[in-house]
Structure 1
Amino acid sequence: MTAELRELGQSDWDRWYGTLERAFGGLHEAPEERELWDALTECDRSLGLWDGEECVGTAGAFSFRMTVPGGALVDTAGVTMVSVAATHRRRGLLTSMMRRQLDDLRERGDALAVLTVSEPAIYGRFGYGVATWSLRASIDTTRVRLTVPEGTDEVRLRYAVPAEVTDACEAVYARVVPGRPGMLARQPGWERLPVLDPERDRDGASPLQCVLAERAGEVIGYAYFAVKPDWDARGPQGVVLVRAVEALDPAAYAALWRFLCDIDLTSRIEALNRPVDDPLLHLVSDVRRCGLVTRDSLHLRLVEVGAALEARAYRTPVDVVLDVADAFCPWNEGRWRLTGDPKGASCKRVDDDAPADLALSVRELGSAYLGGVSLAELAWAGRVRELRPGALAEASLAFGSGAAPWLPHPF
Structure 2
Amino acid sequence: MTMDLRVLRQADWDQWYGTLELAFGGVPETPEERTLWRELTRFDRSIGVWDGPDVAGSAGSFAFRMAVPGGSLVPAAGVTMVGVRPTHRRRGVLTSMMRHLLEGVRDRGEPLAVLTASEPGIYGRFGYGIATHRIHARVDTSRVRLVIPEDPSVTDTSYATDGVRIRLSAPEDARAACEEVYARRVTTRPGMLARQPGWDAVPLLDPVDKRDGASPLNCVLAEADGETVGYARYAIRPSWDRHGPRGTVVLRDLEALTPAARAALWRYLFGLDLTSGIDAFSLPVDDPLLQLVDDIRRCDVQVADQLHLRLVDVGDALAARTYAAPVDVVLDVTDAFCPWNTGRWRLTGDAKGATCARTRDAADLALSARELGAAYLGGTSLAALAGAGRVRELREGALAEASVAFMSAVAPWLPHGF
2:54 is matched with: 54
- Partner of 1:2, secondary structure, is coil
Structure 2 counterpart SS, 1:174: helix
**Does residue 357 of structure 1 match 2:358?**
no
State how far apart, in whole Å, the 2-side matches of 1:381 and 1:169 are.
Answer: 41
Query: Could you tell me the TM-score, scaled by structure 2's length?
Result: 0.97
CA displacement, residues 97-145 of structure 1 (integer Å, 9 cap, x when unaligned): 1111111110011100000001111100000000000000000000001
- Please name the residue that 1:194 is paired with: 203
Residue identity matched to 1:8: L
Residue identity matched to 2:135: L
Task: Report the secondary structure of 1:363's partner residue.
Answer: helix
- SS at 2:59's partner residue? strand
Q: Equivalents in 2 of 1:183, 1:12: separation in Å?
A: 32
Q: Write the distance in 1 (CA, Å) between the matches of 2:384 and 2:126.
A: 21
Among 147, 165, 178, which residue is 2:174 paired with? Answer: 165
1:294-325 alpha-carbon deviations (Å, 9 max, x no partner): 00000000000000000000011000000000
How many Å apart are 1:201 and its aligned residue? 1.0
Name 2:254's counterpart in structure 1: 245
The answer for the alignment partner of 1:327 in structure 2 is 336
1:223 aligned counterpart, secondary structure: strand
Cα deviation per residue 1:192-227 (whole Å; 9 max; x = unaligned)? 001111111111110000000001111000000000
C-alpha distance in 2, partners of 1:46/1:32?
A: 21
Deviations 1:235-278 (A, max 9, x none): 10000000000000000000000110110000010000000000
Matches within 5 A, 1:69-218: 69-149=69-149, 150=151, 151-218=160-227
Structure 2: how far apart are the matches of 1:380 and 1:109? 34
Q: Give the AA of the match of 1:90.
A: R
Structure 1 residue 374 and structure 2 residue 378: aligned? no
**1:273 lines up with 2:277 in the alignment:** no
Give the equivalent residue in structure 1 for 2:392: 385
- Please state if 1:264 is matched with 2:295: no
Q: Secondary structure at the match of 1:185?
A: coil
Separation in structure 1 between the aligned mates of residue 102 and residue 256 of structure 2, nearest angstrom:
36
**Secondary structure at the counterpart of residue 301 of structure 1:** strand
Report what 2:64 is aligned to: 64
Amino acid in structure 2 at the alignment position of 1:80: T
Once the two structures are TM-superposed, the CA of residue 147 in structure 1 deviates from its matched residue by 1.1
Which residue number corresponds to residue 9 of structure 2? 9
Question: What is the distance in 2 between the residues matched to 1:370 and 1:47?
Answer: 28
SS at match of 2:90: coil
Q: 1:398 aligns with which of 401, 405, 408?
A: 405
1:233 and 2:242 correspond: yes
Segments of 5+ residues of structure 1 without an aligned counterpart are none
| C-alpha distance in 1 between matches for 2:278 and 2:319 | 41
Count the aligned residue pairs.
409
Quote the residue 1:282 is aligned against: 291
Partner of 1:342: 351
Find the aligned partners of 1:347 and 1:154 in 2 and give their Cα distance: 47
Q: 1:291 aligns with which of 269, 289, 300?
A: 300
**Mean CA deviation greater in 27-36 or 382-391:** 27-36
Q: Which amino acid aligns with 2:13?
A: W
Q: State the identity as a percent.
A: 66
For 1:82, the aligned partner's letter is V
Bigger drift between 286-295 and 194-203 goes to 194-203
The alignment partner of 1:396 has SS state of helix
TM-score for the superposition, normalised by structure 1: 0.99
* C-alpha RMSD of matched pairs (Å): 0.6
> What is the Cα deviation at residue 2 of structure 1?
2.3
The alpha carbon displacement at 1:153 in A equals 1.8
**Aligned equivalents of 1:102, 1:344: Cα separation in 2:** 26
Shift of 1:56: 1.1
8 Å Cα contact 2:56/2:93 also seen in 1: no
Q: Which amino acid aligns with 1:368?
A: A
